[in-house]
Amino acid sequence: MINEKRLLDEFLEFVKIRCSTRQERKIADIVTRRLIELGCTVQEDDTAKKINGDTGNLVAYLKGNVKAPVLMLTAHLDCVEPCENVRPQVTDGIIRSDGSTILGADDKAGVAGILEVLRVLKEDNVPHGDLQIVFTVAEEGGVNGSKNMDKSLLKAELGYTLDTHGAPGKIVVKAPGQNKIFVKVKGKAAHAGIAPEKGNNAIIAAAKMLTKIPQGRVDEESTCNVGVIRGGRATNIVAEMVEIDCEARSRNKAKMEILTDKICHVFEQGGIETGTQVEVKVKKSYDPYEIAEDSAVVQLAAQAARKMDLTVSIEESGGGSDANFFNSYGIPCAVLGVGMANGHTVDEFIKEEDLYNAARLTLQIVKEAVVKAN
């Protein structure tokens, strides 16, 4: 049986630990020790070197005591900023920060929930098949941990990533891919007061281009966004350089590529029209994925949720996750709702009930896998 107090205490402990992307060493060391205490063998891959981080992905294995499909349970160790000096508050069944930082339920709810499941399996001698636990790094900002992980370490047949908003019972079966577009617009510097006509303002040129690219929700499965603009040196200098970071997403890969090409064309044509030099580079973050609703990985989770009297909601998502790469590696992997809300903001929160039910559902999935196999 899930121990609510223990789970809550561990969750509150974890969110207080600073775990910036590519700086997950402290939380990884703690989690590694606990995995070993619970009987897992643990390996850390070489992803840290590939992404200039201080920690690799943790890949643990727990031998089963009965025959069942090998399940993979995953969550990520890092958080978005600001994640230092988090002071969690628990009031009326709601867990929040003090408003000066994020909370970190994204994704410490998943990490703590998985560890609690492993404890219950051990304490109650619950029948279970082999389990693979994967705690990734650098999920935020491009799912770079799973993208660069050692795929040869993965042995699972079905996978579940505990990492999305929505109450337990939500099962994400389709999510977008993402292309990042990096643009440099180079104009000509000049003294803004003495000879502005000798310059060519890159900021103004870039602004004209930005009015022509797709923005926001393009259709029901595609979005575009301009996220970062850097440029200019001083008000008395006609701006010579602007850098723009954009993205295109879609659950339809062909649409994603069309959107990307359109954005690139707008900037390239804009360079000709404004007399500026434009450099455009595209970096693929990840491809979309789709899992059939009648697939084994979805039906197993749905059956577990129904046994718990949870409302089953099979959905499509607008965000990517480690599941994008796990699916591309050949492991059918669904994303499970753990109750996090207002993620990536200082207003983030999670209900205690959802924290506990996410762990209960994960435990029930492990049990259902045994029932199905026998």
Are 356 and 338 in contact, with CB atoms under 8 Å apart? no
pLDDT of residue 266: 97
Q: CA distances (Å), 225 to each of 188, 230, 281, in order?
A: 27, 15, 16
Check pLDDT > 90 for residue 64: yes
The average confidence (pLDDT) of the chain is 97
Rounded Cα–Cα distance for residues 120 and 122 (Å): 5
The encoded tokens of residue 75 equal 């969550």
Helix ranges restricted to H, the chain: 4-15, 25-37, 47-51, 105-123, 144-147, 202-210, 253-274, 296-307, 322-328, 352-373
| pTM of the complete model beyond 0.85 | yes
pLDDT of residue 142: 87
The encoded tokens of residue 212 equal 């022509």
Check pLDDT > 90 for residue 169: yes
The band of 374, judged by pLDDT with boundaries at 50, 70 and 90, is confident
139 catalytic residue (yes or no): yes
Q: Which helix (H) or strand (E) holds 96?
A: strand 94-96
- Enter the DSSP assignment of 331: -
DSSP for 8-45?
Answer: HHHHHHHHTS--BTT--HHHHHHHHHHHHHTT-EEEE-
Q: How many CB atoms lie within 10 A of CB 278?
A: 23
Rounded Cα–Cα distance for residues 23 and 18 (Å): 8
For 99-122, the pLDDT digits (tens) are: 999 999 999 999 999 999 999 999
- Token pair 């954009």 is at which residue? 246
Are 338 and 355 in contact, with CB atoms under 8 Å apart? yes
Look up residue 35 and give its amino acid.
L
163 catalytic residue (yes or no): no
Q: CA distances (Å), 175 to each of 250, 302, 339, 345, in order?
A: 8, 18, 18, 22
Closest residue by Cα to residue 323 from 178, 223, 173: 173
Domain annotation for the chain: domains and CATH numbers: 4-175+288-373 (3.40.630.10), 177-286 (3.30.70.360)
Catalytic residue of the set 10, 78, 247, 322: 78
- Token pair 């669904």 is at which residue? 334
Calculate what percentage of the chain has a pLDDT beyond 90.
98
194 Cβ contact partners less than 8 Å away, ≥ 6 residues apart: none
Check pLDDT > 90 for residue 274: yes
Catalytic residue of the set 139, 140, 157, 240: 139
The band of 340, judged by pLDDT with boundaries at 50, 70 and 90, is very high
Rg (CA), the chain: 23
226 phi and psi angles, rounded to 5 deg = -95, 115
